Structure formats: structure tokens, C-alpha cells
Amino acid sequence: MKPSLHSLLLWLLLCVCAVPVMAQPTTPAPPELDARGYLLVDFHTGKTLAELNADERLEPASLTKIMTAYAVFRELAAQRIKLDDQVLVSEKAWRTGGSKMFIEVGKRVSLEDLLKGMIIQSGNDASVALAEYVSGNVESFANLMNAHAQRLGMTHSHFTNPNGLPDPELYTTARDMARVAVALIREFPEYYAWYSNLEFTYNGITQPNRNPLLRRDPSADGIKTGYTKAAGYCLIGSAKRDDMRLISVVMGSSSPRARAEASLALLNYGFRTYESHKLYPVGQPIENLRVWFGEQETLAAGPERDVVATIPRGQYDKLSARLEKTPDLNAPIAQGERLGEVVIALGTEEVTRIPLVALQELPKGGLWRYAKDSFLRMF
């Protein structure tokens, strides 16, 4: 007896349903770490790759010195101070407890040596000497630190001293510390190079850099450790492999070994799981846009800064780009004026938006151009 058409269709349907459906690849979960809070971000895009309690208020300990260095670097950039300035060491700076550069009261020390003593040796005494030289006293310098923190968007941070010694009103978050670390590296690469120095000698005393990543990961080049009993063991790390730089923040680990292992685990997870691609460099023309009433009809437009996408590994072929252009552009247009946005997407998910700007100036055209464009716009 031949099977009916209905039974054949039912058999085919059961066969199709029995075929296993291939699941979409998922991003591996970050490792479990010994830390009260942590954060892993891509330096170029700011994309968060892993986090735990990243916005919880925590004590920064000597991570504070990253903000101290940033504030001093800003003063150097403004040419209000110089690296070869000779700083008189006060009794307050000399008496500061904790880790020391071993400066001596009444002696003069170059600003550059004080910075290296703070960055490489984590000198609390050097931090106070720098604060007093820049702002007159520690309290005024703390106000400067807080002003920079607000400008950088560190809305959950408050600083009361330049070295991170315990204070009930001294606090931050892992996310805020990542913000200042990124700003320091981006704005001051020439000074950031000091963070990878393995040791520094002052007054005949050589001290090693306290950052264990520098000796355990050849791609690591910064940035700072911290410890107090209340804060636990903290470490902000930075590493660069090929064109990808990651920033890791680990706060509140139980031991020096735990913070080092947590930082390495985060960095390795990020580099293993994600990849970054520079899609359009800053200043590269992407499109010639139609402009009305200008000396010429079109104007070259490009990204305001490098267009970089951080995505899970193996997903590059799913990236797409589009331009969202400002309608009805009219001359005159200044160089750098915003003309729209470059939008990068991974499948249906938006990855990043970068302003699209004019790559040169376009002055207003003459009477003939005005009359011609007015006529064309009517139709």
C-alpha cells in the first residue's frame, strides 16, 4: 500500500524539525576575579569589554596619583611650569608617610625628578611636593584635581589629597579611573612613556617600578598600583598588542598576586575575545557633499577623529558604514564644521558614531553662484 501524500508531508516535516539548528556564536564570559570591582575598556573606542561593580564608590589608594600626574601634565602643557623647575621641598612633603622617593626637607628637586619619583617609585612625598609647587598647598591642588575630574566626566569621584592616603572624602570608581587613564595616555604620550620605566634612582637610592605587569607581559606599558588596608590591592594596567590598546582597572583585590593575576586575566581575555579595526583615519575624505551658494558645488568631508570599531573576533565581515548628512548645507562653511555623522554598525547593532566634518573651508560664492543655486533649489 502506497503512503498517502499527507503522510509523506508529515514525515518530511518531522525530518526537518529533527535537524539541529546551529546556534549563533556567543562572546565568552569574562573570568571570575578576586576584586571588589573591575573594568576592561578599549582605549580607542571606550567600549566596555568586561565589568563588575564598575560604578561602585571605592577607595583609590595610590591610583590617585594618576590624577595628580594628569593635573601636573596639564600645567606643563599650559607652560605655567617647566620640567627643569627646581622645587623646594617642604617639611610637610618630607614628613609624608607611606611609600617615599626620599626627598629631603629644604633641598631643591627638579620637577621632572619629582614626577618620576611619583610615577615610578610611587612617592607620597613627591606627590605632596608637586601639589604644593603647582597650587601652593595640598587643599588647593585637590580642588584642581576635582575640576579636571568633572571636566573628564568623572562624576563619582572626589579627591582630597594628591597621594591617595586614606580620607573619608577620597573616593572614585573603576570607570572613573579608566577615564583619567585614557585621557593621560591620549593627551600626554611623551610623559606616559615614564610609566614603563622599570626603575628610577634618586639620591643614590634605586627603587623598582611597583607595576608587576611590566615584568610579566611584554605588551604592558603602564600604569599604576595602589594599596591601603581599606582599599585593598589595586592596579590599573595598560597593554598594546598590534594596533589595539586595552585599559584594565582592578580594585579591592586581596593580595598583590591576586591583583596582578586579575589584571593579566582581564587583558588576555580582551585581546583573545575582541579585535579593533581602524576603518577611516582622521582627515580622510569619505564623501564630497553638495553645498549651496559656495565658491564650488561640493566640499570634501571626513571623520573628526579616527573611526575605530571594537568587535568580537571573527565578525569583521558583518560591519557596515553609513553617513547621516546634515540636509541643505549652505556656504560659508568653516574647516572642521560638523556636517553629519559616520555611523558604524555590526549587523543591526550600532557600534559607534563619529562626527563628519568639513576638511577645508568653503567661502560663499558670488552673485552668479547665488542666482544659479537659488534657481536649482526651486526644482
Active-site residues, by number, are 62, 65, 122
289 and 298 Cβ atoms separated by less than 8 Å: yes
The overall longest dimension of the chain from CA atoms, in Å, is 110
The response to whether 372 counts as a known ligand-binding position is no
| Known binding-site residue numbers | 224
Binding residues for substrate: 224
